[in-house]
């Protein structure tokens, strides 16, 4: 089946983030900080064993409380190399491992984690539904999936701009057009997953905190 023009492959992601890795922190620390803060606060309230999917350079890692035991995974080795340096420099003893892994095929047993967090990941992965299925598989019943994401405009000028930018998704390394229906359609297929919270965040409501729970 042909992929739509905005679809990303794992190869696109790997080459885009190999380019982003050396400058990622310079560009993306401040503007996406409120989302990481909100996501990590939700996780800190749960505690236990947590999976951070698409941990990147690990900008959110120092925000987890010491009692949260974190495993981080990412497809991009150059991004993970920065995360490993950050963990060592800050002496973050609660970060248990950082592993190269595909979010769409997680190498963990079912119901392994108390919570899963994915800040700024879903707009990047080639198949968001498969990724959500994997997160739901590895989280315990009663556990939470915490997402931070840009939710694209459904209509109007912003939707047109995002669709135009979407044609450059492979070079950017993410899809600017990401309608809520991608998550909504998945939720409709998963009666075991419930939407706990959907909250717009600074700056300018550009990002959304989404908390899901598995029953
Ligand atoms: C926008 S960055 C977010 C990084 C970090 N969470 C943050 O808040 O800065 C997205 C990350 O997702 C990773 N990624 C994309 N597709 C992936 C996949 N299929 N499996 C694992 N990681 C993936 C990318 O390599 C990149 O590091």
pLDDT at 6 over 60: no
Residue (of 160, 129, 170) closest to 4 by Cα position? 170
Rounded mean pLDDT, 69-86: 98
Give the separation between CA 184 and CA 149, rounded to whole angstroms.
14
Work out the mean pLDDT of the chain and round it to a whole number. Answer: 91
Number of helices (H), then strands (E), belonging to the chain: the values are: 8, 7
Residue 120: what pLDDT? 96
Residue with the smallest CA separation from ligand 1 atom 14 is 54
Lowest mean pLDDT among 48-52, 154-158, 192-196: 154-158
Q: What phi, psi does 195 have (nearest 5°)?
A: -80, 115
Which residues does 141 contact at the CB level (< 8 Å), separation at least 6?
A: 111, 214, 215
- What phi-psi label fits residue 108: left (phi over 0), alpha (psi between -120 and 50 degrees) or beta? beta
pLDDT digits (tens, 9 = 90+) for 113-125: 999 999 999 999 9
Say how far apart CA 208 and CA 68 lie, in whole Å.
23
Kindly tell me if the per-residue pLDDT of 50 is higher than 60. yes
Backbone φ and ψ for 132, nearest 5 degrees, come out as: -65, -40
Domain boundaries, the chain: 10-214
Q: Is the pLDDT of residue 20 over 50?
A: yes
**Using one digit for the tens of pLDDT, what is the confidence trace for 96-106?**
999 999 999 99
| Banded pLDDT at 204 (limits 50, 70, 90) | confident
Is the distance from the beta carbon of residue 74 to the nearest atom of ligand 1 less than 6 Å? yes
CA atoms of 83 and 89, how far apart (whole Å): 10
- Of 67, 190, 201, 215, the residue nearest 128 (C-alpha): 190
Strands (E), the chain: 48-53, 68-74, 95-100, 113-119, 139-149, 193-201, 207-214
Model confidence pLDDT, tens digit, residues 125-173: 999 999 999 999 999 999 999 999 988 767 676 666 666 666 666 666 6
> Tokens 């696109």 appear where?
12
Is pLDDT of 5 > 60?
A: no
What pLDDT shows up at residue 147? 98
Q: What is the pTM of this model?
A: 0.92
**Ligand 1 contacts CB of residue 150 (under 6 A):** no
* Tokens matching residue 113: 């984690």
CA of 74 to the centre of ligand 1 (A): 6
Distance CA 35, CA 110 (A): 27
Separation of CA 7 and ligand 1 centre (Å): 15
Q: ω into residue 203 within 30 of 0, thus cis?
A: yes
- Chain position carrying tokens 């905005």: 6
User: Which band of pLDDT confidence, cut at 50, 70 and 90, is reported for residue 203?
Assistant: confident
pLDDT of residue 206: 83
If you average pLDDT over residues 21-50, what whole number do you get? 96
Look at ligand 1, atom 16, and give the residue with the nearest C-alpha. Answer: 125
- Residue 138 has a pLDDT of 98
Copy the structure tokens of residue 166: 């979407």
Q: Is domain 10-214 given the CATH code 3.40.50.150 in the classification?
A: yes
């Amino acid at each position: 089946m042909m992929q739509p023009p905005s679809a990303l492959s794992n190869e696109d992601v790997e080459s885009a983030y190999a380019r982003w890795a050396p400058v990622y922190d310079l560009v993306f620390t401040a503007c996406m900080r409120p989302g990481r803060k909100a996501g990590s606060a939700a996780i800190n309230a749960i505690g236990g064993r947590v999976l951070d999917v698409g941990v990147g350079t690990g900008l959110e890692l120092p925000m987890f409380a010491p009692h949260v035991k974190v495993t981080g995974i990412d497809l991009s080795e150059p991004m993970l190399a920065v995360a490993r340096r950050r963990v060592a420099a800050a002496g973050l003893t609660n970060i248990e491992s950082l592993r190269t892994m595909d979010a769409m095929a997680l190498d963990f047993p079912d119901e392994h984690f108390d919570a899963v967090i994915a800040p700024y990941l879903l707009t990047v992965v080639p198949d968001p539904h498969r990724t959500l299925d994997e997160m739901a598989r590895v989280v315990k019943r009663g556990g939470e999936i915490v997402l931070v994401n840009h939710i694209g405009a459904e209509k109007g000028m912003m939707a047109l701009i995002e669709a135009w930018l979407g044609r450059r998704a492979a070079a950017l390394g993410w899809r600017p057009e990401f309608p809520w229906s991608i998550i909504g359609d998945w939720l409709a297929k998963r009666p075991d997953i419930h939407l706990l919270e959907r909250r717009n965040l600074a700056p300018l409501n550009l990002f959304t905190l989404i908390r899901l729970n598995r029953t």
